[in-house]
Amino acid sequence: MGKFNMQVLGKKVLMNIIASAKDTKFAIEKRIVMRLHLFLHHFLHHFLHHFLHQFLHQFLHYLRIRFKKMSVFTSLGCLVFLCISMAFKVNAKQLAFSSTSVPEGQSFNYTWKREDTEYNLSFTLDTEAFKRMPSSSAAFSNALMQREIEIALLKYAQNLDPREAKVDIKRVGKNLQYGVSSRNEEKARDIMKALDEAGNQAKADYFKRSYFTKYSGPSGADAVKQDHVRYAKESADALMPVVEAIKTIQDNANDAREFIEIALSWMQSIPYDVMENRLSSNGAGFVSPKDLLLQNQGDCDSKATFLAALLQAYNQGVKQNMVLLPEHALLAVALNPQPNDEFITHKGLTYILLEAAGPGYFAVGEASDSTLLKIRNRQYTLEQM
């Protein structure tokens, strides 16, 4: 059989698509082409291996520049080529999954394949420990938070003597405004301070109860995201049976890197659920470690958080960081690097990259080209786990 030549195949497909773009009478607007580019770029980011990623990314960029309009057939051609390319990508593929309630707790069974190796992982999580694991919260709602703040303010105002002071609370757009009127200026200042404290406490209670935290991205824009640190910390203890189960399938149960390799490929094999933009999603799409097991799917944030919890269960003293990119997340763990490992340095420590999203297989110390480019350009923030 002759040697497979990706460049020849890519050139032929490119020529056919260009011909279609020139000849077809069924044109669509450029904005749809832009959406197609963004859609395919998202899949490139998560699913394609290094050389395919670079080829398709530059190919789509070329089409955007060359054509103001693109045919429907051209669009379909891009999608078909994407599917063909993915056939040559090495994936961590899940072959079987089951979850069953048993007298001892919740039982899970996984079978997946990484390259030429097939793994079987079975474990049971204790009933009470599993119940204590936090469940996923709903997406952040500013309206709900403002309502809880308003209730706290009204509750405080009801205890005031109306002859001494009057509190005025009103909604302006998406936020609340409040003020105090009183003949005693010092009294008004004290009441205003107390109202601020009541409002801030109500906001903090909402964040804590719903597992949210404030987030500032590389651009400095403020947003709200899930508290990955709390989710991981409060889930770790329940995952000890998972640690023990992984050790039983290791060649060397004392080899930390082998443990991470198996855990990483397991996470990659779990079906991927697309993550929204971090700054605009308000936490939509994230699932807790508990729900990732039950639903058998998760986005990059969810898988990285689960992996962080698992590594905490494996070694409570492990040092790790969540690497937060605008539309992606991965984990980085303090581990002695091997020659080809990709890593970041932070406060004098070396952190090896762990790409848990899947389904593309990335070994310990590997990540996609687009992720590495953003890291080199400092387009990320770190969250100490």
Conformational region of residue 358, where left means phi above 0, alpha means psi within -120 to 50, and beta covers everything else: left
Query: What are residue 190's DSSP bridge partners?
Result: none
Alpha helices in 216-329 (DSSP H): 228-236, 240-248, 256-269, 278-281, 289-295, 300-314
DSSP letter at 255 equals -
303 φ/ψ angles, rounded to the nearest 5 degrees = -70, -40
Q: Per-domain residue ranges for the chain?
A: 6-86, 93-137+220-384, 142-210
User: At 164, is the secondary structure helix, strand, or coil?
Assistant: coil
**Tokens linked to 144:** 């709900």
**Tokens linked to 270:** 């779990």
Q: How confident is the model at residue 271 (pLDDT cuts 50, 70, 90)?
A: very high
Residue type, 155: K
How many Cα neighbours within 13 Å face the side chain of 341?
20
pLDDT value of position 90: 60
pLDDT tens, position by position, 48-104: 444 444 444 444 444 434 443 333 333 333 333 334 334 444 677 899 999 999 999
DSSP letter at 174 equals T
pTM, two decimal places: 0.72
CB 93 within 8 A of CB 47: no
CB 75 within 8 A of CB 36: yes
Q: How far is CA 57 from CA 34, 66, 378, in A?
A: 13, 14, 21
pLDDT tens, position by position, 301-349: 999 999 999 999 999 999 999 999 988 999 999 999 999 999 999 999 9
Nearest-5° Cα angle at 137, 359 to 154? 155
Question: How many residues in total does the chain contain?
Answer: 385
Residue type, 90: V
Looking at domain 93-137+220-384, its CATH class is alpha beta
CB 188 within 8 A of CB 182: yes
